[in-house]
Structure 1
Amino acid sequence: MNEILRVLKTFLAYLKRPDLYPELGRKIVKNTVNRGNAFKGKDKTNLWAASKSISQQEVISQLFGYEMSTFKTVFQYILKDSEQKEKDCPIKMGGAGALELIYFACEFTKAQHVIETGVAYGWSSLAALLSLEKRNGALYSSDMPYLAQDGDQYVGCVVPENLKKNWKLFRFADKESLPKIFAETTSFDVLHYDSDKSYNGRMWAYDEMYKRLRKGGVFISDDIGDNSAYQDFCEKNNIDTKVVEFEGKYVGIFIK
């Protein structure tokens, strides 16, 4: 019954937002006609990812030449304050993720322009912004409204106010947000994907974002074990990717 009420609440919230009608249509198709595609190749990709996976510390050392532990040492007080903000948040959103991977990718590339999909509490946003503020760079984020939870005001809640001047947040689905972002900036130093988990959604976004990642830029995708989209994308483009095992899930990362 709770699930039925949640779906009904979400549907009614969509009806109040004409700007989100295109995404509503895509969700209906994804959960009916294309439902089988969502987990396409999942078993194959998990075997592939497991065979390649190494630790976050190893990847940061091998790709970027940094010592991972310095992140939590340097930013310990900011991270502690952000952890408290998450605890105080009345709604549940996604976890923190591989923050060091994002931060050191930005440091390695001396990033000026970073793009991410998926925000939630804003942990990945925080990691990028801690690097970007050093160069007065900009983070462009795409994140859908939290229609079922009345939680919009909490999106990005762990990001300190002083970092928000370097942040542009677009509150639409990726297919609406990304074109708006690309209209402002056409080349990015780092991209981090953590939004639409479907096979088709990933493949579309991967292609669009990869085209705008500069040579020498860093591509990161969370939860690549959900389906074979990341593996298929890498094989199609002859990309030699690293795979990080993080809290029982897999993260893909490579330098273009």
Structure 2
Amino acid sequence: MGELNRVFKTFIAYLKRPDLYPELGRKILKNTVNRNNAFKGKEKTNSWAKSKAISQKEAITKLFGVDMFSFTTEYQNILNNAAQKEKKCPIKMGGPGALELIYYACEFSQAKNVIETGVAYGWSSLASLLSLEKRNGKLYSSDMPYLGQNGDQYVGYVVPENLKTNWKLFRFADKESLPKIFGENGTFDVVHYDSDKSYDGMFWAYNELYTHLRKGGVFISDDIGDNSAYQDFCEKNNIDSTIIAMDDKYVGVFVK
């Protein structure tokens, strides 16, 4: 009954937001007609990822030539404060993820423009912004409103106020947010994907984001084991991706 109430509440919230009707239509199709396609190739890609996977520390050293532990030392107080804020947040969202990878991708590329999909508490946003502030760079983020949870005010909750001047948040689905972002800025130094986990959503977004990533820029995707979109994308474009094993999931990263 609780799940049914949540679905009903979310549906009603969508109906109150005409600007989100296109995403509502896509979600209905994804959960009915295209339901089986969401996990297309999952077993194949998990086998592929497992055969290639290394640790986050090894990946950062391999790709960027640095020791990731200096990140947690340098920003210990900020990270501790962010963790305390997360604990106090009444809404449960996604956890920190590969913060060091994101931060050092920005440092390696000397990023001035970063794009990410998926925000939640704002952990990945925080990692990017800590690097971007050194160069007065800009983070562009795409994140759907948390419909049915009354959680909108908590999106980006762990990001300190002083870093928000370097951040622009677009509150739509990727198919609406990304064209708006590309209209403001067409080239990015770092891409971080962590939103729609369906095969079609991921494959579409990968192609869009890759087109706007500069040569020498860094591409990162979370949760690549959910289906074969990332593997298929890399094979289509002859990309030799580094794969990181993190707990029970895989992260993909490469330099363009």
Structure 2 counterpart SS, 1:54: coil
Show the counterpart of 1:251: 251
Q: So what's the TM-score if we normalise by structure 1?
A: 1.00
CA distance in 2, matches of 1:3, 1:162: 38
Show the counterpart of 1:74: 74
Show the counterpart of 1:29: 29
Query: Residues 216-251 of structure 1: CA distance to partner in whole angstroms, max 9, x if unpaired?
Result: 000000000000000000000000000000122100
Q: So what's the TM-score if we normalise by structure 2?
A: 1.00
Show the counterpart of 2:166: 166
Give the partner amino acid of 1:55: S
Show the counterpart of 1:176: 176
Show the counterpart of 1:238: 238
Show the counterpart of 1:98: 98
CA distance in 2, matches of 1:72, 1:207: 33
Identical pairs, percent? 76
Query: Residues 63-115 of structure 1: CA distance to partner in whole angstroms, max 9, x if unpaired?
Result: 00110100000000000000010001001001110000000000000000000
Count of residue pairs brought into register by the alignment: 256
Superposed, 1:68-147 pairs within 5 Å as: 68-147=68-147
CA distance in 1, matches of 2:148, 2:67: 40
Show the counterpart of 1:40: 40
Q: Which runs of 5+ in 1 are unaligned?
A: none
CA distance in 2, matches of 1:244, 1:62: 12
CA distance in 2, matches of 1:66, 1:124: 19
Show the counterpart of 2:186: 186
Structure 1 counterpart SS, 2:39: coil
CA distance in 2, matches of 1:119, 1:233: 23
1:214 aligns with 2:214: yes
CA distance in 2, matches of 1:182, 1:118: 16
Q: Once superposed, what is the RMSD of the aligned Cα atoms? A: 0.4
Give the partner amino acid of 1:230: Y
Query: Residues 22-47 of structure 1: CA distance to partner in whole angstroms, max 9, x if unpaired?
Result: 00000001111111100000000000
CA distance in 1, matches of 2:146, 2:31: 18
CA distance in 2, matches of 1:228, 1:95: 23
Shift of 1:148: 1.7
CA distance in 1, matches of 2:228, 2:241: 14
After superposing on structure 2, the runs of 4+ consecutive aligned residues of structure 1 that deviate more than 2 Å are: none
CA distance in 2, matches of 1:246, 1:72: 17
Structure 2 counterpart SS, 1:189: strand
